[in-house]
C-alpha cells in the first residue's frame, strides 16, 4: 500500500482544484504534446439585432393591402348596375360635385324649341304678303328671312309657344345700308295687333322700346341708347329674355332695356319685326332665329 509521508513536500495539486497559473498550464500542455497556449477566437464587435422589418415582412404587408383592395372592388362590383359603362365609372364623383348646392341659384338648362338659319324653306316662319304694307319671305340662296316694309308701317312674323312660363328669343339682324332709318327687333307678349311690346334698334344704333296698348303706342325708357350697336349694313345680335315677370332686351350681349311683363295670358307669344319710320320703304334681313324655353327639373 502506498503511503505519503506527512513531511513530504506537496508537489502535486490536490484533486478537484483548478490550476489558474499560466506557467503551470503551459507546462502541462507541452508535457502532453499540445501548444503552450490554446488558440482563441478573435475579438469582434457585437451589434444588436436590426430593429426594422425585413423584406419578407414588407411583402406580407403588401399582400394584405392588395387583398383588402380586391375585397373592396368585389364588394362595390356586386352593388353596381350591370349596364354601367366605363365612362360612368371613370369619374365616380361627377354626380356628387355636379349637383347644385342646396338653395343655390343654378341656371336651368334650355330646351331649343326651334332654330332656323333660313338656308331652306322654313317650317316656322311663313311667306306672307300684305300689299302696300309689308312682305315676308325666306330667301334660301341668301340664307335670310327678309321683311320688306312700306313707309310708316310695322310688319312682323309671330312665334307662339303655348303655356310657356318663360322663353328666350335670339336673332341676328341686318338693316340695309340704304335705309338707316329702318328699325328692327323683337316683339314680346303679343296679345293682338294693338297689344304687344316692341324692342327695336335702328340703322343708326339707336334703341327704342314701345308698348302698344289698345292700338296706342307708349314709348318706354331704355338703359343704353347707343355705342354698343352696329350701324346699318352690319349685323347686330338681339335677344329677348322673358322670365315670366320681366322682359329683358339685349343687343350684342349688352342689356338695353328692361320692362315689367304685361298680362300673364300673353306668355309664350313673341315674334320678329321691322318698321319703316319714315316715308321710305325698308328692307331688313334676319340671318337666324333661335327660340328656347327652360327645361323642367
Burial class (CB within 10 angstroms; exposed 0-12, middle 13-18, buried 19+) of 31: exposed
Burial class (CB within 10 angstroms; exposed 0-12, middle 13-18, buried 19+) of 156: buried
CA 70 to chain centre: 33
pLDDT in tens, 40-76: 655 555 555 555 555 556 777 788 888 888 887 877 6
* pLDDT value for 81: 55
* pLDDT value for 57: 63
pLDDT in tens, 9-25: 444 444 445 555 777 67
Euclidean distance between CA atoms 183 and 278, whole angstroms: 10
Average pLDDT, integer, range 108-132? 86
pLDDT band, very low/low/confident/very high, at 263 (cuts 50, 70, 90)? confident
Q: Give the number of other CB atoms < 10 A from CB of residue 103.
A: 5
Mean pLDDT of the chain: 80
Instruction: Give the torsion sign (CA, 28, 33, 37, 40).
Output: negative
pLDDT band, very low/low/confident/very high, at 110 (cuts 50, 70, 90)? confident
Mapped onto helix, strand or coil, the DSSP state of residue 209 is: strand
Residue 26 or 263, more confident = 263
Q: Is the pLDDT of residue 37 over 70?
A: no
Distances (CA, A) of 247 to 199, 209, 251: 10, 11, 13
Comparing CA positions, the residue from 204, 208, 186, 175 lying closest to residue 282 is 175
Ordered domains of the chain (ranges, CATH): 110-294 (2.60.120.560)
pLDDT band, very low/low/confident/very high, at 265 (cuts 50, 70, 90)? confident
Beta carbons of 256 and 250 less than 8 angstroms apart: yes
Locus of grid cell 500542455: 29
* pLDDT value for 165: 87
Amino acid at each position: 500500500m502506498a503511503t505519503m509521508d506527512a513531511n513530504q513536500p506537496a508537489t502535486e495539486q490536490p484533486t478537484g482544484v483548478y490550476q489558474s497559473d499560466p506557467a503551470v498550464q503551459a507546462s502541462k500542455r507541452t508535457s502532453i504534446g499540445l501548444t503552450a497556449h490554446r488558440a482563441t477566437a478573435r475579438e469582434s464587435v457585437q451589434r444588436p439585432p436590426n430593429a426594422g422589418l425585413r423584406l419578407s415582412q414588407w411583402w406580407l404587408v403588401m399582400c394584405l393591402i392588395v387583398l383588402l383592395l380586391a375585397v373592396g372592388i368585389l364588394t362595390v362590383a356586386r352593388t353596381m348596375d350591370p349596364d354601367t359603362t366605363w365612362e360612368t365609372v371613370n369619374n365616380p364623383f361627377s354626380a356628387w360635385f355636379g349637383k347644385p348646392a342646396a338653395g343655390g341659384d343654378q341656371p336651368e338648362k334650355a330646351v331649343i324649341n326651334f332654330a332656323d338659319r333660313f338656308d331652306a324653306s322654313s317650317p316656322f316662319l311663313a311667306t306672307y304678303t300684305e300689299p302696300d304694307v309689308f312682305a315676308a319671305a325666306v330667301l334660301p340662296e341668301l340664307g335670310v328671312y327678309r321683311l320688306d316694309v312700306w313707309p310708316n308701317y310695322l310688319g312682323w312674323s309671330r312665334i307662339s309657344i303655348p303655356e310657356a312660363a318663360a322663353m328666350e328669343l335670339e336673332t341676328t339682324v341686318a338693316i340695309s345700308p340704304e335705309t338707316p332709318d329702318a328699325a328692327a327687333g323683337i316683339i314680346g307678349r303679343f296679345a293682338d295687333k294693338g297689344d304687344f311690346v316692341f324692342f327695336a334698334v335702328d340703322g343708326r344704333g339707336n334703341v327704342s322700346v314701345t308698348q302698344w296698348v289698345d292700338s296706342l303706342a307708349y314709348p318706354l325708357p331704355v338703359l343704353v341708347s347707343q355705342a354698343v350697336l352696329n350701324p346699318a349694313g352690319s349685323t347686330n345680335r338681339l335677344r329677348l329674355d322673358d322670365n315670366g315677370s320681366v322682359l329683358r332686351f339685349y343687343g350684342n350681349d349688352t342689356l338695353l332695356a328692361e320692362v315689367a311683363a304685361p298680362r300673364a295670358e300673353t306668355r309664350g307669344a313673341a315674334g320678329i319685326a321691322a318698321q319703316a319710320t319714315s316715308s321710305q320703304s325698308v328692307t331688313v334681313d334676319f340671318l337666324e332665329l333661335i327660340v328656347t324655353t327652360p327645361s323642367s327639373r
